[in-house]
Structure 1
Amino acid sequence: MNALHTLAATQLAVTAGVTDELDKVLGIIAWLVTAAGVAGLMMVGSRMALAVKTGEFEEHLSQFLMVLGACVIGATAGPIVGFVL
């Protein structure tokens, strides 16, 4: 039984060492997705503000929803990959 615990601990240590690099890459990608989401929402918001100021009423809701959908996909990608690994 002790040998089984030792083998399991060794396997977990090897697996943790392998996924360290993947965790770093996923962390960087998560930060980039967050920055892109904030930038996208700011761009859509500025377009909405300019459209109201100039009196042109365009449909910005579809752009807003597209950016929010991309944020949701990006936010859920990391936990899904973490669950699979």
Structure 2
Amino acid sequence: MFTSFSIIPLRISIYVGLFFAFTGLLFGLYSVLEHFMVPGLPPGFSLTITAIFTFAGIQLISLGMIGEYIGRIFLSQNKQPQYTIKKEYL
């Protein structure tokens, strides 16, 4: 298991979630500005994409936080050290 020594891979979900949430909010801001600048746009598409990106980001952030919490519990309950010494030079 590649997460048996570190919880860094579990943090990827948090960073991806932040990216999606930030992208969704930026697209929402862009679509609001575009709605006022270009009056003939079809309704609904911008709201749907903004909602999907923002809520997907929030869910990924939540899953990353839960994963990090469980990873810390695993590391504290695991009896092996977080690193191994392959060879010792004196």
TM-score range, shorter chain: 0.5 to 0.7
Which residue identity does 1:68 align to in structure 2? T
Q: Are residues 1:69 and 2:55 paired?
A: yes
Query: Partner residue of 2:9?
Result: 25
Unaligned runs of 5+ in 2: 75-90
TM-score by length of 1: 0.57
Post-superposition CA distance 1:7-49 (Å, at most 9, x none): xxxxxxxxxx9241xx111223312321232122212321231
Select the structure with the greater relative contact order (CA < 8 A; seq sep ≥ 6). Answer: 2
Post-superposition CA distance 1:51-74 (Å, at most 9, x none): 221113522332232222202211
Structure number with higher helix proportion: 1
Percent identity over paired residues:
12
Q: Are residues 1:37 and 2:21 paired?
A: yes
Count, aligned residues: 67
Q: For residue 18 of structure 1, give the secondary structure of its aligned residue in structure 2.
A: coil
Q: 1:36 to 1:64 in 2, by over 3 A?
A: closer
TM-score by length of 2: 0.54
Query: Partner residue of 1:10?
Result: none
